[in-house]
C-alpha cells in the first residue's frame, strides 16, 4: 500500500511540475518575451531577412505604482528604439521599425536628413539605395525624400525603416498608436541566409549574427 502511495505522489509531483512549467512558459510568452522573424529588407543593413529576434514585451508595460517604476526595468519609448508592433492598417500583422518621432515632436524629412523640431538628427543606422538628390529633385513629391513637417500626436510615434528607400513606414501609413506597440527588439537569437529566389534550399546559418544585440 505504501508503494502505491509513493508512486501516486511521484506521478503527481511530475504532473504538477509540468503544469507549472507550462504556466511559466505561457506567462513569459504572453507578458515578457516574444520571438519575431524578419520578413523583409526594410531594416537593412542592421536587420536582415532570416534574422530571428527576441522582443522584450515587458519594458514598456504600465507601472501600477512608483515602487514598480523604481524597481522594475520599465521605461518610456525613446528615439532610436526598434519596436515590434501591430501594423495599423492590418493589426493582425506585426511590423518592425525604428522610432524616429516622439509624441508632440515635429518631424520633417529633407532629402536624406531627418529634422526633429527643426534640428537635424544624426542617424548612423540609416541606409539608402540611391544617392542624395540635387536641390531641384529634392523639391519633388517623393515622400521617401521629402516629407512633412508633421507633428506627432499624443499617444503616437513616427516610425521609419533603416533602409530608407525601401521601407513601408509612417511616411506611407501615418503615425503608430502607442497601444499597438508590442515591445522592443533585444537581440538576434538565430539567423540564416535566405536565397534570393525565396526557396528553402541552401539555407546556411549566419553564426556571426547569433546573440547580436540590436541597437
Instruction: Respond yes or no on whether the N-terminal peptide bond of residue 59 is cis (omega within 30° of 0).
Output: no
The active-site residue, picked from 57, 97, 167, 191, is 97
Largest alpha-carbon pair distance within the chain? 93
The three cell numbers of residue 131 are 544617392
- Nearest alpha carbon to residue 157 among 61, 77, 58, 46: 77
The one-digit pLDDT tens for each residue of the chain (215 residues) are 555 554 556 666 655 555 444 444 444 444 467 899 999 999 999 999 999 999 998 888 665 556 555 555 778 999 999 999 999 999 999 999 999 999 999 999 998 999 999 999 999 999 999 888 765 555 557 888 899 999 999 999 999 999 999 999 999 999 999 999 999 999 999 998 887 555 555 578 999 999 999 99
H/E segment holding residue 56: strand 51-56
Residue that is written with C-alpha cell 511540475 in the block: 17
Count of structural domains within the chain: 1
Residue that is written with C-alpha cell 537593412 in the block: 44
* 97 catalytically annotated: yes
* 86 catalytically annotated: no
| Distance in Å from the first CA to the final CA of the chain | 62
**CATH code of residue 110:** 2.10.109.10
Half-sphere exposure of 210 (CA within 13 A, CB side): 7
Range of the domain at 154: 2-213
Amino acid at each position: 500500500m505504501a508503494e502505491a502511495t509513493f508512486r501516486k505522489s511521484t506521478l503527481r509531483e511530475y504532473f504538477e511540475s509540468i503544469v507549472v512549467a507550462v504556466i511559466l512558459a505561457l506567462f513569459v510568452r504572453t507578458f515578457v518575451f516574444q520571438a519575431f522573424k524578419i520578413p523583409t529588407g526594410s531594416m537593412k543593413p542592421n536587420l536582415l531577412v532570416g534574422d530571428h529576434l527576441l522582443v522584450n514585451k515587458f519594458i514598456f508595460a504600465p507601472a501600477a505604482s512608483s515602487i514598480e517604476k523604481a524597481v522594475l526595468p520599465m521605461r518610456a519609448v525613446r528615439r532610436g528604439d526598434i519596436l515590434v508592433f501591430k501594423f495599423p492598417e492590418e493589426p493582425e500583422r506585426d511590423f518592425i521599425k525604428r522610432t524616429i518621432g516622439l509624441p508632440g515632436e515635429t518631424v520633417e524629412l529633407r532629402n536624406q536628413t531627418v529634422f526633429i523640431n527643426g534640428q537635424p538628427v544624426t542617424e548612423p543606422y540609416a541606409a539608402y539605395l540611391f544617392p542624395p538628390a540635387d536641390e531641384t529633385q529634392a523639391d519633388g513629391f517623393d515622400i521617401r525624400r521629402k516629407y512633412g513637417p508633421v507633428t506627432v500626436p499624443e499617444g503616437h510615434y513616427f516610425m521609419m525603416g533603416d533602409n530608407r528607400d525601401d521601407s513601408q513606414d509612417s511616411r506611407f501609413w501615418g503615425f503608430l498608436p502607442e497601444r499597438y506597440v508590442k515591445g522592443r527588439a533585444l537581440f538576434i537569437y538565430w539567423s540564416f541566409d535566405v536565397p534570393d529566389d525565396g526557396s528553402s534550399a541552401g539555407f546556411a546559418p549566419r553564426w556571426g549574427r547569433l546573440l547580436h544585440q540590436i541597437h
